[in-house]
Amino acid sequence: MTQGISSMKSYTLEFSFDVTGCEMEGHLNPEIVSQIHFKNAKLDYIEFMPTRNQTHVKGSVTVELNQLDDLFLGETFIHSHLIPMIRNTLAITNSSQDKLPFLPYFEPSINLITYRGLNHIDVQVLKEKKVKCGEHPQNPLKLDLNDFSKNLIHLVIKLDRATLQQKNHERISAIQRSFFWLIGAQQVGHTDGFLIYEVISKYRLLWTALNAIYNLYKKTTERQTIKNFARNPFIVDYVDSLVQKKDTIIFNLISSKLTLWDNFPISDELSKSIQSVDKVKTAQNFMFCLYAIRNPIIHGSELNDEIKLCKGAYIVLEHIVKKSIRAEIMKLSEKS
């Protein structure tokens, strides 16, 4: 066996894991697959199969053996590189049902490693590594494989390459931290009916995810930082779309009479900016209203309508976090 391994030029590792909370079907095309690699480990194929309120993912990786340490590179590639890449892509993938995806639990299970040597000796090692997952959601979302593929090729792979080359460190760090908190928020609540504390937890985690991003726009005060961040075209356009379709969240934010900074009437300011058709100021006041919801549930100060507002506001906040992550990844230079 030792002689067989020492004479090998490469080995393959087949893997599978289950993704709870969403259903997706299909396989990544070869053009995308060819771009997923780490050192001398490369992805051969990966496919997604919906089954019983979850998605079964399977594929294989080939590792070229240049040194003895490369025997462990396949598992390192899957656990530290491929699975986080898939997890992050799922976090910003749209549902075919036009709903926000609930990010699933992963149950990684490395099934089979087959070492193929020059003398055709196969050494098969069966490995199972199960992680107990939480309660399965009753209605898993059906995710769009096309959107997943687009995000993977244009966003996550680009971020991964930039990370390896250690460029744009501040932006990359902010994106990675935002992903961490976004994924945490998406794992809160496993049924259709959220408890109030789950809604609050979601909102707090989502705000932390957003905080990681908007600190890239840091000014002397938090107020100026948020105001600066809210000038982003993707924020302005998104808030304007909510105004144009008369979304319930706009009515709720205005009618709740939220205040900031020594009782400054920020809900009234939102109403005024909408009436004056000032899209940038409307986006800024909208973000300040979301900030006003955040304050008492973070600091434990007196509550009025903030708890009630969390239920609708966390949905738009999650959209903003995802749009922010996408936008910041796109700012990474092509050479990164």
Over residues 87-100, the pLDDT tens digits come to 888 777 766 554 54
Q: Is 91 inside a domain boundary?
A: yes
Q: Are residues 24 and 91 in the same domain?
A: yes
| pLDDT given at position 67 | 67
| pLDDT given at position 229 | 92
Of 114, 316, 283, nearest to 202 by C-alpha is 316
- Judged by DSSP in three states, 124 sits in strand
CA atoms within 13 A of residue 306's CA, in its CB half-sphere: 23
| pLDDT given at position 290 | 92
Amino acid 140 reads P
Q: How far is Cα 218 from Cα 290, in angstroms, rounded to an integer?
A: 18
Q: How far is Cα 135 from Cα 151, in angstroms, rounded to an integer?
A: 27
Residue 180 tokens read as 């961490």
Q: DSSP class of residue 103?
A: P
More confident residue, 75 or 104: 75
- H-type alpha helices, the chain: 2-6, 30-33, 73-77, 83-91, 145-151, 157-164, 169-186, 196-214, 222-229, 233-244, 248-255, 266-275, 279-299, 306-330
Q: Are residues 98 and 201 in the same domain?
A: no
Question: 269 exposed, middle or buried (CB, 10 Å; 0-12, 13-18, 19+)?
Answer: buried
Of 307, 309, 311, 247, nearest to 282 by C-alpha is 247
Q: Are residues 188 and 310 in the same domain?
A: yes
Domain boundary (106, 130, 145) is at 145
Q: Is 161 inside a domain boundary?
A: no
Segment 116-138 shows an average pLDDT of 41
Of 309, 119, 102, nearest to 191 by C-alpha is 102
Question: Which residue range(s) make up the domain with 15?
Answer: 2-145
Using the predicted structure, report yes or no on whether residue 70 has a pLDDT greater than 50: yes
Q: Are residues 122 and 243 in the same domain?
A: no
If you write DSSP's letter for every residue of 4-21 in order, what string do you get? Answer: HHHT-SEEEEEEEEEEET
Q: How far is CA 20 from the centre of its chain?
A: 15
Q: Is 151 inside a domain boundary?
A: no
Of 233, 200, 237, 193, nearest to 313 by C-alpha is 200
Using the predicted structure, report yes or no on whether residue 258 has a pLDDT greater than 90: no
Note whether 8 and 117 are within 8 A (CB): yes
Q: Are residues 253 and 305 in the same domain?
A: yes
More confident residue, 224 or 166: 224
Structural domain count, the chain: 2
Segment 74-95 shows an average pLDDT of 79
Domain boundary (111, 130, 145) is at 145
Domain boundary (130, 145, 160) is at 145
Share of the chain above pLDDT 90, in %: 18
Q: Are residues 113 and 198 in the same domain?
A: no
More confident residue, 296 or 128: 296
Q: Is 74 inside a domain boundary?
A: yes
Q: 15-19, 220-224, 317-321 — which one is most confidently predicted on average?
A: 317-321
Q: Are residues 213 and 306 in the same domain?
A: yes
Q: What integer best gives the mean pLDDT of the chain?
A: 76
Q: Are residues 175 and 214 in the same domain?
A: yes
Q: Is 164 inside a domain boundary?
A: no
Q: Are residues 224 and 259 in the same domain?
A: yes
Q: Are residues 326 and 202 in the same domain?
A: yes
- Judged by DSSP in three states, 115 sits in strand
If you write DSSP's letter for every residue of 264-332 in order, what string do you get? Answer: B-HHHHHHHHHHTT-HHHHHHHHHHHHHHHHHHHHH----SSHHHHHHHHHHHHHHHHHHHHHHHHHTS
| pLDDT given at position 244 | 92
Segment 180-192 shows an average pLDDT of 72
Residue 209 tokens read as 């995810």
- Span 269-315, pLDDT tens digits: 999 999 999 999 999 999 999 999 888 777 666 666 777 888 788 88
Q: Are residues 192 and 279 in the same domain?
A: yes
Q: Are residues 179 and 325 in the same domain?
A: yes
| pLDDT given at position 102 | 46
Q: Is 154 inside a domain boundary?
A: no
Q: Is 159 inside a domain boundary?
A: no
Note whether 257 and 289 are within 8 A (CB): no
Q: Is 326 inside a domain boundary?
A: yes
Question: 101 exposed, middle or buried (CB, 10 Å; 0-12, 13-18, 19+)?
Answer: buried
